[in-house]
Amino acid sequence: MQTPHMWIWQQPDWPQFRWDQGALAPVLARARLAQGKVLGATQLLDANLTLEAVAAILVEDGVTTSAIEGERLDLEAVRSSVARHLGLPTAGLPAPPRAVDGLIEVLLDATRHFASPLMIERLFGWQASLFPTGYSGLHQIRTGALREHEPMQVVSGRIGHERVHFTAPPREGLDLELGRFLAWFNGDASNSAIDLDGLIRAGLAHLWFVTLHPFEDGNGRLARAITDMALSQDEHQPMRFFSLSAQILRERESYYDILERTQRGALDVTDWLAWFLVQVEASATAAEKTVANTLTKARFWLRHQATDINERQRKALNRLLDAGRDGFEGGINTRKYMSLTKTSRATAYRELAALVEKGCLMPTGKGGRSSGYEIVW
């Protein structure tokens, strides 16, 4: 009988996960429909636009997978790293820190090389790439190797009033546990992973890896990279067109809640998988907007291919276009233009006025301090 303090990995039949296929059928169907819609929408993109859409998703993925763990990355640094790795223009973008580059390399390796086996050496390289200095914040950590610290716990609350949300399996036997996970993930013929629905498999992979918690730090980001790899395997696509990390960040509280409840429970993981599939549906639905924005952006620049626009103006227009119709609150004004392009007030005023004359921008219609300009779509 399960005791109140028994973790899922302490169950006698761990890791023989169970779920109610009938209960999952409708939510799985909705997730598949949303996934199909976004993949269908990408068929409208040519090679260059596909790369732009992938870049937008990858930037979002990099920023949000770190934000889930409470780490705020500089957006421009992530844009720069993504641009460099995808061969896109980097003019005006800062050189990214090594840790940002390492994260983008992990995300790209997981999807570009989805058909390559996920070996333990590859995982070691991923984790070391997340922490190129050997530090997580101010704390030195073990990188490129399994954790040694005991016990490995997820804890919140101030000192003396801590709450233990999860205790990971002990270090002893962790090599065997991780080896068993990797054999399953790589489709060992002796297990049933190869017969699973691809989305169910991705949800199980996420839960299983994050429960093992094999490293001193970076386990959440690695779990999401593995999930992206599983989704790429499911779609047979070396690129992601929707960001599950962005959706998890939007549902961060419920993510940690369902994860804790599942890890404190028995091996029936129906609730976890239902939650996971809802997030797949939501993230795919949100990505349709990204693809639509990419098409809209392409049409805008096609319309203005002969318009005389300098690099500062182009940067500001691209920022507005990337944000979408409702993404840049209040439009752009002189102050925002100055901050974005690092130019003087007089130059900002003159260049914004020129964009209005050329039919790129129009006034928002709000006066006073709220006055600004928005894209002429």
Torsion from C-alpha of 174, 180, 183, 189, nearest 10 degrees:
170
When pLDDT is averaged across residues 192-203 and rounded to a whole number, the result is: 83
Q: Give the 3-state secondary structure of residue 364.
A: coil
- Residue 193 corresponds to which amino acid? A
Question: pTM for the whole thing?
Answer: 0.83
Domains of the chain and CATH, by start: 8-288 (1.10.3290.10), 304-375 (1.10.10.10)
| Residue 58's pLDDT band (cuts 50, 70, 90) | very high
Query: What pLDDT does 95 receive?
Result: 93
Residue with tokens 């390399």: 105
* CA-CA-CA-CA dihedral for 46, 49, 51, 55, to nearest 10: -160
| Measured distance CA(254)–CA(281) in Å, rounded | 16
Q: What is the pLDDT of residue 218?
A: 96
Residue 226 binned pLDDT confidence (cut-offs 50, 70, 90):
very high
Least confidently predicted of 84-98, 108-122, 245-259, 260-274: 84-98
Structure tokens at 285: 């639905």
What pLDDT is stored for residue 188 in this prediction? 59
Q: What is the mean pLDDT of residues 93-115?
A: 96
Contact 226, 209 (CB under 8 A): yes
Per-residue pLDDT tens for 121-172? 999 999 999 999 999 988 999 999 999 977 888 888 777 777 888 999 999 9
> Model confidence over 314-364: pLDDT tens digits?
999 988 988 877 767 778 999 999 999 999 999 999 999 999 999 999 998
Virtual torsion, Cα 253, 255, 257, 263, nearest 10 deg: -160
